[in-house]
Amino acid sequence: VIFPKTLGHIDDAVSNLFDRLEKRVTPILIILAETFSSLGACRRAGEGRFIECVQLLLAWFHSHF
């Protein structure tokens, strides 16, 4: 939950994200690193393959860089 109305506050991580976006600092590299790290961890754990996800990531990567 990003904006929990019932609690009456905003998460610090979300606040920091908007602050960085305002300063034109994008979290793209961090997101990519976390994604590839997670895919690698799942592969090492033997939970299967992520062929479709890797192809989707590759298409996104080529369209942005």
- 29 found inside a domain: yes
Domain that holds residue 53: 12-64
Q: Are 57 and 46 in contact (CB under 8 A)?
A: no
Amino acid 6: pLDDT: 58
- 2 found inside a domain: no
- 45 found inside a domain: yes
Q: Tens digit of pLDDT for each residue in 22-60?
A: 777 777 777 778 777 777 776 666 655 656 567 777 777
pTM of the model: 0.36
- 7 found inside a domain: no
Q: Are 51 and 42 in contact (CB under 8 A)?
A: no
Number of domains in the chain: 1
